[in-house]
Amino acid sequence: MTETTKVETMIWQGGIEGCLDLIDQTMLPTEILRIECEDVETVWEAIKMLRVRGAPAIGIAAAYGVVLGLQSAQEDEDAFFARLNEIVEYLATSRPTAVNLFWALERMRRLAETKRANFEGAEHLREALLAEAKSIHEEDRRMCHAIGGHGADLLSEVEGVLTHCNAGGLATAEYGTALSVFFTAQDRGHSLHVYVDETRPLLQGARLTAWELMQRGIRATLICDSMAAQVMREGRVQAVVTGADRIAANGDSANKIGTYSLAVLARVHGIPFYIAAPSSTFDLAIESGDQIPIEERCSKEITHGFGRQTAPDGVEVYNPAFDVTPADYIQAIITEKGVINPVNRETIERVLGVV
């Protein structure tokens, strides 16, 4: 975003007794409303209700949520760690699919455990955990920029690109994952025309991605999800780039519902389908996408979208929030460590540096 329009998705205010300030993304694009999370319950609700969303941003918020939850922890060592475990388990129940949530929580818990042998008091450990949360935040910022660099290289000959949901600065610390590719291309003087799926049923593409692209002066054309095939058929796009919320060891990737459809369409039309995601989105303990838990959300998101009833009373609803794209349909996965191509376990482990 330009300096005049840049908006920080999340800001930690103060020291260990501070609070987390974040944008309520449910209010965008018509209103920029910031909310102060002063306790862990508010962070849990913000994640659950999509006030903060996007796998990396969820992980960052959860890390700060641990700090907030420990503000009321007792000084006693056993009581402190009991409270820590309670907070981690509580935050883990907010949303099931985005692996960054669990990665960040485990990282916070692991740091605390490493310091337990030389426990120097609750305040000292809370300061260390706040520093760790800030490190997670800053590391994500650097990863996003690195992803953008690797991805922009792949789009050097591309004019039109299609994306789904929101994988921009709102979903991360800065720049995003999929959108970082477009922003970095712009920084290099390469103008892209981005076709933005509206992303039913909550319209993250329409409300968030289109807004972010317009803030940056990138040409954006909004389309209904069902228009993607026609856009491809007409030759308007030469690549598809999306984010991901969890990637299995074999490269199967979970992302916002509708992503799998785009991958199938891209294959039919001979268009490369790319995923952009940080290494923290990989869950190498899961062999394939069949093991990725898929969140099912409230039926009213479909029957009463944004407060207006659009379906008959009593209709049966199925509302999975994510789907899984098989690795075979993914041309490459763009990470901060490099481009994974071909997408298979061997290449994933090599690029990520897994021994």
Given 197, 245, 283, 323, the catalytic residue = 245
Question: Could you say which DSSP state residue 193 is in?
Answer: E
**Strand, helix or coil at 6?**
coil
Residues 6+ apart with CB under 8 A from 158: 192, 238, 239
246-248, strands of its sheet edge to edge: 282-283, 246-248, 253-256, 322-325
What gap in Å lies between CA 16 and CA 71, rounded to an integer? 7
Question: 44 and 92 in contact (C-beta within 8 Å)?
Answer: no
Question: 152 and 230 in contact (C-beta within 8 Å)?
Answer: no
CA 140, distance to chain mean position in Å, is 11
Would you give the end-to-end CA distance of the chain in angstroms? 38
What gap in Å lies between CA 106 and CA 322, rounded to an integer? 23
Burial of residue 84 (number of CB atoms within 10 Å: 0-12, 13-18, 19+): buried
User: Is position 328 annotated as part of the catalytic site?
Assistant: no
| Residues recorded for the chain | 355
Q: Which amino acid is at 168?
A: G
Name the CA radius of gyration of the chain, rounded: 20
What gap in Å lies between CA 110 and CA 128, rounded to an integer? 12
Residues designated catalytic:
245
